[in-house]
A and B are shown apart, each in its own frame.
Chain A
Amino acid sequence: MNPVNYLYLAALLFAIGATGVLIRRNVIVVFMCVELMLNACNLAFVAFARLHGNLDGQIIAFFTMVVAAAEVVVGLAIIVSLFRSRHSASVDDASLMKL
């Protein structure tokens, strides 16, 4: 088996995540799909690091993880404050900037 298969898997997972972002209405699930896309990118980076034979891809994947952690913290804080003000976790309800 060629490690290119990992890239195919990453592409498939990324496409599934993107579809989920478009389909789902719940903010939390949409956010989870974004996480899935980030993970797919990480898998591609790690596979490329192996294909190229250096560790730079793994470093980038590591930074992606750090950024994802920061993003999750802020995103979930936004979701919680959104839910507090609107009592709903649906993206359709958040159609106005003000309350």
Chain B
Amino acid sequence: MTALAAYTTSTGEAVQFWVLATVAVIGALCTILMRKAVHSALCLAGTMIILAVFYLANGAYFLGIVQIVVYTGAIMMLFLFVVMLVGVTAADSLKETIKGQRWLAALCGFGFAILLFAGIGNASLKDFNGLAKANEGGNVEGLASLIFTKYVFAFEITGALLITATVGAMVLTHRERTERAKTQRERAEERVREGKHLPPLPAPGVYARHNAVDIAGLLPDGTPSELTVNQTLRERGQIRDVSSEALNDLRALEQRAADRLERPGSVRPDTGRSGEGDSGSDPVAAAAGEQTEEASK
């Protein structure tokens, strides 16, 4: 099988090449043109899988599998991990620091491609040997015999390089702890000494209707208590205020009752009275109610 695949460039391979090469170039272009880094990473992963197919078609069976396992499996997923860490929503800025830099860069890339094409076109590459003889005893065995004889020193240095890279990554991302971490006992004693919040913090949720973590619990007077929600949500300003929902519901109910009883005249004073009676901050509560309605939409 290897002998046949290596000696002739069959029509099947030609078809495969033209179809997959188109997709690979489109993937590469999408990699550099997509606004978001996640899309770029996914396009690049697609291009790399297609390159793996090309390796297989070229008789590099070991490299084809390694390409899929190492590149698309490990490296691209590492990329995605860092993209998630840095922030998916961060799109590239379109402001040009140097004027006309994009077009100049595109022009340079185009010229570079023409240069490379001209170089390859002028080389005498009319006939090719094929890998049938080299892959005779199996592709992996052939690679292994070369790695462990001719390239054994390069292989050893590769091991050193990998160890260095591992240590380097750890050194770069590790943050030294400057002070000893407090034990649980020390933290408990500190809390008692401060005397502010001895029991655990109150739980979020209102009236057993909303138990989402981003909804602040209500104090007896109806105002939301920021203490009940997570500090991260508090700092991001992602707290939903539903304290006025009950009042709005009551008001809607009264409105409906008034409509059914056909007493249009008595609606306005009725709701106005209930609003004043329940809490002093009626306009504020109404505004908050509108906000929550918008958020729920």
Contacts and interface: CB of A to CB of B under 8 A. Distances in A.
Q: Of residues B60, B85, B164, which shows the largest number of chain A Cβ atoms within 10 Å of its Cβ?
A: B60
A2 B54 CA distance: 14
Contacts of B227: none
A37 B83 CA distance: 20
**Residues of B contacting A: mostly:** helix
Contact of A56 (B63, B129, B146): B146
B47 to A, nearest CB: 7
Contact of B146 (A15, A47, A55): A55
B215 interface: no
B125 to A, nearest CB: 5
Contact of A66 (B13, B14, B37, B158): B158
Contact of A77 (B37, B62, B67, B169): B169
A80 B154 CA distance: 30
Contact of A52 (B79, B105, B129): B129
Contact of A32 (B44, B59, B116): B44
A36 B75 contact: no
A83 B90 CA distance: 12
A25 to B, nearest CB: 5
Interface string B56-83: 0011101100110011001100110011
A76 B146 CA distance: 32
Interface residues on A, range: 35 or more
A9 B131 contact: no
Contact of B29 (A5, A16, A78): A16
Contacts of B92: 24-26, 29, 90
A73 B169 contact: yes
Contact of A74 (B25, B143, B168): B168
Contacts of B130: 50, 53
Interface string A37-64: 0010011001101111111101101110
Contacts of A42: 51, 55, 63, 67
